[in-house]
Structure 1
């Protein structure tokens, strides 16, 4: 029986995030879930796997349960399957940011770019005046990306600000469309660019995973595979697991990424 995998995040004010760690860990353990969850003042980010019922109960608790008190009712959520359990253990970690840009003043709940649904993405990224920007790490981009996308050649998301300062100009680059694995990095990057004076910033809602889930392969502008932060390594169209590509937690965590979660 395959395992159900949930990749999720939401930017939301969680001033009590430290107190939430142990109750959330215990709840996940009680459902026999494995994976990684990050908690910070700005919200939650994670990828977990388990039985269908276990994942459904977990999502229901996040969205409607007493633990978060309705603060995660707008959770960005994507489901996929794994032939084997893609995590070896459960980790619930406290962080300064749920995705590390290195600027805690950036707040997507106050200012954020324009969300673009997967169905509308192809039309946007072929516009002649648009800059299509991949906000992921270089080793992820090497595995797959959208046709014509700019690779910032960064080793971690924390280097995005330096890339923007050197290569992006609000006067020259009037329209920017960004994407990442699950939506969290490009969402935060959109808030940052708007604060720097960029006029029109768009980002793919639900990220590459949502696009691969919803877009027929014959209509796709995606090329290659999408790296994911679990033992499946990469997913293709329909969120199908790439055959023969598996890694251990130790191998994956040695990669130059922010955390073992979908971002």
Structure 2
């Protein structure tokens, strides 16, 4: 089988995307199921996705698949058929359609085989990821909201929670899912008699988190079906009040889907009300932060005066700085304040 990897530069791929005239639809989906030969599954699916013009990010492991992709809108039905036919476990799988979608979320298809589709740090052989909490549909989520016997738990990272969350939801302050799982157990030890409702962006993290909470002895565990994306879509379709406020952070070029007009966060530089995430324009930093338009102009898209200065260094000096910082495995991660 040929053409199993992209060989075109990012610059050319972005230019091709911007030149497209047909609209694209952004879709995410996941499924925990056994894949005996993850590499073979990946290679076969990759070629089919290429033929359909799919862009995006897909992770495959022996435990399942996690995908955030876009496809020409005319190929949506063909994509559904391809996914449903890829494995019996995927037949009829729920697909989450983006809410605030300009079709420019991805410009290349990257499909990788990993040890796990979501890095969880769990090495307990008795843990069963299929023993999940009960699903809650949008109307059921609203019914449980505000009850004294119920706690909503946000299983996303701190920068996601910052711009939007369910009202009064508990934040588990961490930048990685593997850190959050034991942290959530510790934070909720005195609440084992309550209903624990877990949620995340599209459902994949909170589904596994609900199984982990049950594994740790919590009995009344729930999770929002399809995550924030599906909740917001169904609430709108059914005319329900939105209990998620603000923006839903997404891991593509959009960096966020507007759910309500509420702006919960502030520019990290001047403190003005704002919830626009971006990456620092200094390639020797690339920090994720929130920046208002005024500071964007003042700092040229950089997160600090230092980065603004570094960005204009001679190319050789800038590349040397990047190489030096790459020696610190945590420098180019979202862990930095």
Aligned equivalents of 2:246, 2:128: Cα separation in 1: 32
Q: For 1:88-134, what per-residue CA distance to the aligned partner results, in whole angstroms no more than 9, with x for missing partners?
A: 2111111111111111544332x110100012101112211111100
Does residue 102 (structure 1) correspond to residue 124 (structure 2)? The answer is no
Does residue 190 (structure 1) correspond to residue 268 (structure 2)? The answer is no
Contact 2:132–2:207, Cα closer than 8 Å, also in 1: yes
In structure 2, which of residues 66, 72, 77 is the aligned counterpart of residue 45 of structure 1? 66
TM-score when normalising by structure 2: 0.67
Residues 221 and 82 of structure 1, relative CA distance in 2, 3 Å threshold: closer
Flag the structure with higher strand content. Answer: 1
Higher relative contact order (CA 8 A, sep 6+): 1
In structure 2, which of residues 203, 213, 232 is the aligned counterpart of residue 212 of structure 1? 232
Query: For residue 256 of structure 1, what is the aligned residue in structure 2?
Result: 334
In structure 2, which of residues 93, 104, 110 is the aligned counterpart of residue 75 of structure 1? 93
Query: What SS does the corresponding residue of 2:95 show, helix, strand or coil?
Result: strand
Residues 234 and 165 of structure 1, relative CA distance in 2, 3 Å threshold: same
Aligned equivalents of 2:181, 2:101: Cα separation in 1: 35
Q: For 1:29-50, what per-residue CA distance to the aligned partner results, in whole angstroms no more than 9, with x for missing partners?
A: 1111110111011111101102
Residues 225 and 37 of structure 1, relative CA distance in 2, 3 Å threshold: same
Aligned equivalents of 1:51, 1:120: Cα separation in 2: 34
Name whichever of 50-59 and 17-26 sits farther off. Answer: 50-59
Q: Which runs of 5+ in 1 are unaligned?
A: 239-243, 258-263
Contact 1:187–1:203, Cα closer than 8 Å, also in 2: yes
Aligned equivalents of 1:59, 1:47: Cα separation in 2: 14
Larger radius of gyration: 2
Structure 1 residue 74, shift from structure 2 partner: 4.7
Residues 218 and 41 of structure 1, relative CA distance in 2, 3 Å threshold: closer
Considering only aligned residues, what root-mean-square deviation do their CA atoms show, in Å? 2.5
Contact 2:153–2:196, Cα closer than 8 Å, also in 1: yes
Aligned equivalents of 2:141, 2:185: Cα separation in 1: 26
Q: Which runs of 5+ in 2 are unaligned?
A: 1-21, 261-274, 289-331
Aligned equivalents of 1:165, 1:126: Cα separation in 2: 21
In structure 1, which of residues 159, 167, 179 is the aligned counterpart of residue 187 of structure 2? 167
Structure 1 residue 235, shift from structure 2 partner: 0.8
Does residue 233 (structure 1) correspond to residue 255 (structure 2)? The answer is yes
TM-score when normalising by structure 1: 0.85
Structure 1 residue 59, shift from structure 2 partner: 2.0
